[in-house]
Structure formats: C-alpha cells, structure tokens
Amino acid sequence: DGGITQSPKYLFRKEGQNVTLSCEQNLNHDAMYWYRQDPGQGLRLIYYSQIVNDFQKGDIAEGYSVSREKKESFPLTVTSAQKNPTAFYLCASSSPTGESQPQHFGDGTRLSIL
Amino acid sequence: GQNIDQPTEMTATEGAIVQINCTYQTSGFNGLFWYQQHAGEAPTFLSYNVLDGLEEKGRFSSFLSRSKGYSYLLLKELQMKDSASYLCAVMDSNYQLIWGAGTKLIIKP
C-alpha cells in the first residue's frame, strides 16, 4: 500500500543533542513537507521541498535542518539550537506544487525533552 | 497578514447535525481544504472547495463563499467516532497551505 512512514513514533532528546526524524513516502510525490503541531495551535510549516536536492524554509525553520537526497526521503534534524523542541512533528507529501492537491500525512513523531 | 479563524471547541449530540465555520484572509486563494484529526493521530483529508457552493460527500458536506472568505463543514447524523478536531486550511497564491488552529468537536450520547 502507498503511504508515508514516519519513525520513530516517540523520541526523547537530551540537552545539547541533535536528533533526526525519518520520513519516507512511496506515493511518488514530488513535494514533501515538515510541520510542527503544538496544543491548541494550527500546523506550522518548518521546511518544504518541491524536488530532489532542493528545499525551502518555512515559517519556523530556525533550529531545524533537512535534506532531500532522494525523492522518497525527507529527514528532519532537530538541532540543539531549537530550545523548545517538544511538539508533535508531522511529515506530509503531495503531487507537484502549483496544483491544488491535498497533502497526505504520516502518523507523526512525538518529541520530548528528557 | 494571513489568518484563518475557527471556533476552538464545539459540542453536539449523537445523531444530530453540526456546522463548523471557517473564515479566512489570505494572500490569494487556490482552494480550501478540510481535514479530520483524531487525538494523537495524523490529519486525514475530508474535502476540497475551490468554487463557490456546496460539495457533498456522504454525511459530510463543505460550503465555500469566496467573496465572503467563508467556509463551513456540515456533519450530519453524528456518530461518536466523529469526535475529533477539524482543521480548515487555505492554499494561498504560492500554493502553500495556511492552517487554522482547528475545532475540537465533542460528541455526547
């Protein structure tokens, strides 16, 4: 079945540590996105990528980094510079941007500070 | 700036009808999406409107008025499993989704 797989489901970060969240899709979608969701708030865009080897900052990119070396994969690294990383992180993908297509989401990774 | 407003929480009774409103102000408009999100889970796509009017999909319908910057999601014959948050999102002129904070719907027996 086609879909988006995020791992791990739960992740704990120590002070000063970088952690990487995995996102893999087999939907053959060109565009991929990372969102952060905090209680009572809407989804906020961290980074997005419209094509392999290219990505752009979203509204809250500070303290995060991404790579897009393969069409299927869009990992997100939460660096030690992100002082408030506790949140629910959602990865999504869609057909090429420039089209009004719905985004499809993975099951999310819940990140907490130890 | 860009803004999407939805009520924070609504309560309804099993078997009844509920309407969840969404108003928006965005830089351009390339469609409006409704998603359902159960607690601790990923959002799932419900509906898409780009032209004015009503789109019906089973128990769920979505309405759009572009001139008023307004949409609503109508849920009929409510079931307990409909208890979830409902997210309104607008695609702006750059084809980026702008998200509302979501409406938490509580269904009571």
Q: Is B82 helix (H, G, I), strand (E, B) or coil?
A: helix
- What pLDDT score does A114 carry? 81
**pLDDT (0 to 100) of residue A98:** 66
Q: Considering only CB atoms, which chain B residues are within 8 Å of A43?
A: 43, 87, 89, 97, 99
Residue in A113, A107, A114 with CA at minimum distance from that of residue A22? A107
Which class for B107: exposed (0-12), middle (13-18), buried (19 or more C-beta within 10 A)?
buried
pLDDT digits (tens, 9 = 90+) for A88-99: 999 999 987 667
B31-69 tens-digit pLDDT? 999 999 999 899 999 999 999 999 999 999 999 999 999
User: Nearest CA to CA, how far is B101 from chain A (Å)?
Assistant: 4
Q: Which among A98, A103, A108 has the least Cβ separation from residue B97? A: A103
Question: Given this model, what pLDDT does residue A27 score?
Answer: 93
The pLDDT value recorded for residue A113 is 86
Q: Outline where DSSP puts E strands in B1-109.
A: 3-5, 9-13, 18-25, 32-37, 44-49, 53-57, 60-65, 70-75, 84-91, 97-99, 103-108
Which chain A residue's Cα is nearest to B41? A107
Q: Which two tokens stand for residue B20?
A: 């969840």
Between A and B, how many CB-CB pairs are < 8 A?
Answer: 46
Partners of B33 on chain A (C-beta within 8 Å) are 102
Looking at residues A58-79, what average pLDDT do you find? Answer: 96
**What pLDDT digit, counting tens, does each position of A4-56 carry?**
999 999 999 888 899 999 999 999 999 999 999 998 788 999 999 999 999 99
| Cross-chain residue pair A105–B48, CB shorter than 8 Å | no
| Dihedral over Cα of A111, A35, A90, B46: its sign | positive
Instruction: Write down the residue that tokens 């928006």 correspond to.
Output: B24
Going across the sheet that includes B60-65, the strands are: B3-5, B18-25, B70-75, B60-65, B53-57
Q: Mean per-residue pLDDT for B1-18?
A: 95
Taking CA atoms, A103 is separated from A68, A86, B4, in Å, by: 18, 24, 18
Quote the CA–CA distance of B14 and A46 in Å, as a whole number: 38
Q: What does the alpha-carbon distance between residue B65 and residue B51 come to, in Å, rounded to a whole number?
A: 8
Q: Do B96 and A45 touch (CB under 8 A)?
A: yes
Question: Which of B:13-52 have CB within 8 Å of A?
Answer: 30-31, 33, 40-45, 48, 50
Contact across the interface for A42 and B87, Cβ inside 8 Å? yes
**So what's the pLDDT on residue B86?**
98
